[in-house]
Each structure stands twice: as C-alpha cells, then as structure tokens.
Amino acid sequence: MRHPVAQRPVAILAYGSLLSHPGPELAAVIANRSPCRTPFPVEYGRASPRWGGGPVLTPHPDGGPVDGALLHLADGIDLGAAVDMLATREGLPGPRGVVEVAGFAELLVLTAALPRNLPGPDMRPDDLARRAVTSVATGPRNGVAYLRAAIECGIVTPRTVAYAAAVLEIAGAETLEQAERLLA
C-alpha cells in the first residue's frame, strides 16, 4: 500500500516587481508574506522587454543580497500549479527560468531566475539610467517605474543609489516619480 508523500508548503521568493505587482493569478493565492533576504546576490543585470527594455533585477554575481519577501501560497497549491503561475506572471514560455531556492527546509521555495543579458560595460549606473530613461517612451511599465517601485519596496543593490542619481540627473528631476513624469 502506497502512502502519498505530503508536499511541503510552497512559497515564492520575490525581490523585484513581483513584490508590488504579483499579478491577479498569484495575488489570489498568496496567503501570507514574510520578509526575507535573498540568499544570492541580485543586481540590475537584465534588460526586460516587459519593462520597455529597462533594467530589472536578476541574480547576479556583482550584486548583493537584497530585502525581499516570501509569498506563502495557500494550502492546496501544488508545485506544478505554483511553477505555472510564476512562469505565466514572468512571461516565460513554460517552467524554464523558475528555480527552487535551497536552504528553506520547511518550505518549497521557488523564484524566477531570468538570465542576465546586460554585459559588464552596460551595467554602469549611467548606462542603466540611459536604458531606463529610453524605456519611459514605451508606457507605464518602464525602467524608471521599475526602479522607483524597487526602492519603495526597500530593495537596494550595490548600484541602486548611483543608478537612481543618474536617472535624476538625466531627467533634471528631484524624485524618480517626477523624472518619469518629465520624461513621458
């Protein structure tokens, strides 16, 4: 007689836009949130088509651990459903890019780990700022909005302060919200 193996509760490690905008499908099944520092370094290392080509956070060896959150999913959400919801939210063509995070014995923790696509020279704060500023023309989902939301969530990487300062300088603004308005 076989006994089913109970699945550990599932959580998603969020450290970017997922914190403030989990999307309707995930938002409906988030039972609880708890603060969590990423167990891996994170930096603005990916130009995202979903954010108008603006820089977004991704695991990156030049970064550092950042404050994020564990999004605890409701009981009954199995691993397959959690992977599918996270992949859909991140615009992935299937489960590729969704990975399990080790070190959480009582939880099964998933995160989106999209690959870096900004080479080293494109990661200077002024280059990140130019990408973010250019992305504002694509609409409300842009690099400046992403940077502003990350800072509002308490996410600070080694490049954040210089990157934000470069955006403000280019826009001639005092705040990122003002910069986005001026650039739009």
pLDDT tens, the chain, 184 aa long = 565 656 789 999 999 999 999 999 999 999 999 999 999 999 999 999 999 999 999 999 999 999 999 999 999 999 999 999 999 999 887 888 899 998 887 899 999 988 899 987 668 999 999 999 999 999 999 999 999 999 999 999 999 999 999 999 999 999 999 999 999 9
* Amino acid 127: pLDDT: 95
User: Which structure tokens are listed for 44?
Assistant: 């603005």
What pLDDT is recorded for position 4? 64
What was the pLDDT predicted at 6?
65
The residue to which tokens 């956070």 are assigned: 57
Cβ neighbors of 3 (< 8 A, separation 6 or more) are: none
Three-state DSSP class for residue 32: strand
Give CA–CA dist 164/141, Å, rounded: 17
On whether the CB atoms of residues 67 and 154 are closer than 8 A, the answer is yes
